[in-house]
Amino acid sequence: MKKGRKITGGKYHKLRKKKFYEKDSQERHVVIGETKRKQERVKGGKIKTFLLKSNIANILVDNKIKKAEIINVEETPQNRFLARQNRLMKGSIILTSLGKARITNRPSREGMVNAIIIKEESK
């Protein structure tokens, strides 16, 4: 059977349009670059801040937070091709001025990059 059709071949029609709060938001990709943010009004009149580009990360080192410059994205567990595009997302391993770190938040939704330093294992 064809999707969206009745058994007789007639169409199913929507009863109404989507409301503003039901619409899908634009997918945002955070990349390395001079920090750039965007603000958007959401339901309830609140304002959300989205990150579009960033070159600074807040890194947790020995229970202290330090700011470090992001140099490169080393690897991304979700998809190796995203690392080539320097996309910043949760779980990505980034190379910073303090060393390698793993991103622990969702930068596209929170307006900043938080990470935790990865301790290198000696062989």
Tens-level pLDDT at each residue, the chain (123 residues): 567 889 898 999 889 998 888 888 778 899 999 999 999 888 889 998 889 999 999 999 989 999 999 999 999 988 989 999 999 999 999 999 999 999 999 998 888 999 999 987 655
Give pLDDT, residue 24.
Answer: 84
Give the domains, in start order, of the chain with CATH numbers: 28-117 (3.10.290.70)
Cβ-Cβ contacts under 8 Å for 81 (sequence gap 6 or more) = none
Q: What is the CA radius of gyration of the chain?
A: 21
Cβ-Cβ contacts under 8 Å for 92 (sequence gap 6 or more) = 73, 74, 75, 76, 77, 82, 83, 102, 103
Give pLDDT, residue 123.
Answer: 54
